[in-house]
Structure 1
């Protein structure tokens, strides 16, 4: 039995990530089920099963176990052994803060939480470096995070300071009561001014670093509204109904219009034409609305386009004045919704 001081002891277990799910379709292997529901590789899932970190209906099963409808699967992902999350003094743009939560305007290029290859310099390191209390429910490596943004996506992100706020905000997010709208520029032109992509997402079976549309994956829906059409690109507002990894990027790529600058999903060509810096794609979490978990008041926050995306939009639109406009999104009606419109 592990001692409390060992990596698998009580201290480490307190920092572990836990999730559970119910099997909805019979016949899939346990390691594949765990990998899909936990955004893990199949090897990681198999290791968790072999080390008794996966329980099916209260029992330990092998990786080859075939799930049955109604099976309840509980998974504990222990923290990496010997890795302490180090607080760092990294400046952050805090756009809202009180005793219960804060909202960060994350810059492109910043990883959200520590992981192999990125143990320092992350948003979590920076949050811990502020010395303020953070919710512990998500584990030390998540440090109050309610949701995430991709490394090269900029914009608004919610962090809970208390476990109570984290529970309420996470429940609101799962129930689609947190409104997140992104601005994106895609290559080519949509066939209509509005588009809904409702396709399930999971790890790409051929490349675990990518996501893909996979039948049996997690449900994912994105509504797109075209705000402007330029020579070679469309300016879009994207409304997330779910928050899967790389969701907007995969959904746009699936209809043949990848986000410009997105090297992973086919939009990386023409970077010079788009005036984008290296490793930057045109995707920004610009508008965030939610009900405050304690006061009950509506929190409505907006993040103007950062300078690199303003410059890109100025070039792509042929409107050089946009590079010096405080928030070009106002020019294109990004924050204006028609009656009944959700996109």
Structure 2
């Protein structure tokens, strides 16, 4: 069954795709344009075109079509399983691996690997995200917790929501940060300039990142970051916002300055309370080889 959204126009003016993308920031303008092409957006029961200009008092109805069901196959992809029991698993995800299938990534993802290596996965999320409680970006490496039962999924998701789960990252950033510690408390939402990016904006969702400088190099700093919230691209957006973007970041950083693919960001530490035993778990994994080699070269240059 289709989901239905109704938007009442009050004082807005302009093209319907622009107005709807501003009123519904959770959907990109390109997604709204696609729905317009597919005849899914109506005024007074009639489908409208993208060139439609909204008027005060108009009620726009969007009938969101059911997402295409992807057939997700188990794939024998090497996977580093740091811990596993009947309820949870902890995975050390390599850089370059997408967490779950999407329109552009139907195979080779962490979920494809999980389906092969683990017997059970929670079913709370849709068919393309079994077991996935939280994500890290494709080019971010490191620790992820995976739910193997629905009971565990609900508990782990609640810990993330209540901010009781521990998540620490290590990042290499451009610039020499003068202070040793800091907290970035700046709301994050979809960028008004580029809908494919996130940005700090007044109407965004609360986002808090704590950082500590671990080491300084010529033109770079190594920092440890602890997430209090889990917004999309949070660390990347926040460090860019304060003027110290992540090295290698193709979206928020400067042009490529170091060898490698993607941002130098590693989820090094993960902690949570076990859903069934209530035992406190903390896991830590070392930096990937390329990350460590890059730091050694920077130390030599110092």
By the TM > 0.5 criterion, same fold?
A: yes
Q: Which of the numbers 283, 286, 294 marks the counterpart of 1:301?
A: 283
Q: Following TM superposition, by how much is the alpha carbon of 1:266 offset from its aligned partner in structure 2, in angstroms?
A: 2.0
Q: Note the 1:8-19 alignment, pairs <5 A.
A: 8=1
In structure 1, C-alpha distance between the alignment counterparts of 2:32 and 2:160, rounded to whole Å: 26
RMSD: 2.9
| Residue 171 in structure 1 maps to residue 153 in structure 2 | no
Q: Note the 1:235-250 alignment, pairs <5 A.
A: 235-250=222-237
In structure 2, C-alpha distance between the alignment counterparts of 1:107 and 1:207, rounded to whole Å: 28
Give TM-score scaled by structure 2 length: 0.81
Corresponding residue for 1:102? Answer: 89
| Alpha-carbon contact 1:35-1:44 (below 8 Å) kept | no
Q: Which of the numbers 102, 111, 123 marks the counterpart of 1:136?
A: 123
Q: Following TM superposition, by how much is the alpha carbon of 1:43 offset from its aligned partner in structure 2, in angstroms?
A: 4.3
Q: Following TM superposition, by how much is the alpha carbon of 1:141 offset from its aligned partner in structure 2, in angstroms?
A: 1.1
| Alpha-carbon contact 2:185-2:208 (below 8 Å) kept | yes
Aligned residue for 1:150, secondary structure, equals coil
Q: Following TM superposition, by how much is the alpha carbon of 1:132 offset from its aligned partner in structure 2, in angstroms?
A: 1.3
In structure 2, C-alpha distance between the alignment counterparts of 1:319 and 1:305, rounded to whole Å: 20
| Residue 146 in structure 1 maps to residue 133 in structure 2 | yes
In structure 2, C-alpha distance between the alignment counterparts of 1:77 and 1:252, rounded to whole Å: 37
| Alpha-carbon contact 2:174-2:247 (below 8 Å) kept | yes
- Count how many residue pairs are aligned between Structure 1 and Structure 2: 272
| Alpha-carbon contact 2:176-2:218 (below 8 Å) kept | no
Q: Following TM superposition, by how much is the alpha carbon of 1:32 offset from its aligned partner in structure 2, in angstroms?
A: 3.8
Q: For each residue in 1:115-156, what CA deviation from the matched residue of structure 2 results, as whole angstroms up to 9, or x when unmatched?
A: 121111011111112251111111111111111010000000
Unaligned runs of 5+ in 2: 4-9, 13-18, 42-53, 57-62
Q: Which of the numbers 280, 289, 297 marks the counterpart of 2:262?
A: 280
Q: Following TM superposition, by how much is the alpha carbon of 1:103 offset from its aligned partner in structure 2, in angstroms?
A: 0.7
Corresponding residue for 1:202? Answer: 189
Corresponding residue for 2:273? Answer: 291
Corresponding residue for 1:120? Answer: 107
In structure 2, C-alpha distance between the alignment counterparts of 1:173 and 1:283, rounded to whole Å: 20
| Alpha-carbon contact 2:218-2:301 (below 8 Å) kept | no
In structure 2, C-alpha distance between the alignment counterparts of 1:260 and 1:79, rounded to whole Å: 35
In structure 2, C-alpha distance between the alignment counterparts of 1:253 and 1:238, rounded to whole Å: 14
Q: Note the 1:255-334 alignment, pairs <5 A.
A: 255-271=242-258, 276-277=259-260, 279-318=261-300
Q: For each residue in 1:184-213, what CA deviation from the matched residue of structure 2 results, as whole angstroms up to 9, or x when unmatched?
A: 111111231112111111122222221111
Q: Following TM superposition, by how much is the alpha carbon of 1:256 offset from its aligned partner in structure 2, in angstroms?
A: 1.1
In structure 2, C-alpha distance between the alignment counterparts of 1:247 and 1:107, rounded to whole Å: 19
In structure 2, C-alpha distance between the alignment counterparts of 1:137 and 1:45, rounded to whole Å: 27
Alpha carbons of structure 1 residues 125 and 77: separation in structure 2 relative to 1, 3 Å: farther
In structure 1, C-alpha distance between the alignment counterparts of 2:65 and 2:171, rounded to whole Å: 34
Unaligned runs of 5+ in 1: 1-7, 19-25, 53-63, 67-74, 321-343
In structure 2, C-alpha distance between the alignment counterparts of 1:182 and 1:76, rounded to whole Å: 37
Q: Which of the numbers 69, 77, 80 marks the counterpart of 2:68?
A: 80
In structure 2, C-alpha distance between the alignment counterparts of 1:76 and 1:171, rounded to whole Å: 28
In structure 2, C-alpha distance between the alignment counterparts of 1:136 and 1:302, rounded to whole Å: 27
| Residue 35 in structure 1 maps to residue 28 in structure 2 | no
| Alpha-carbon contact 1:85-1:114 (below 8 Å) kept | yes
Corresponding residue for 1:181? Answer: 168
| Alpha-carbon contact 1:88-1:121 (below 8 Å) kept | yes
Alpha carbons of structure 1 residues 315 and 27: separation in structure 2 relative to 1, 3 Å: farther
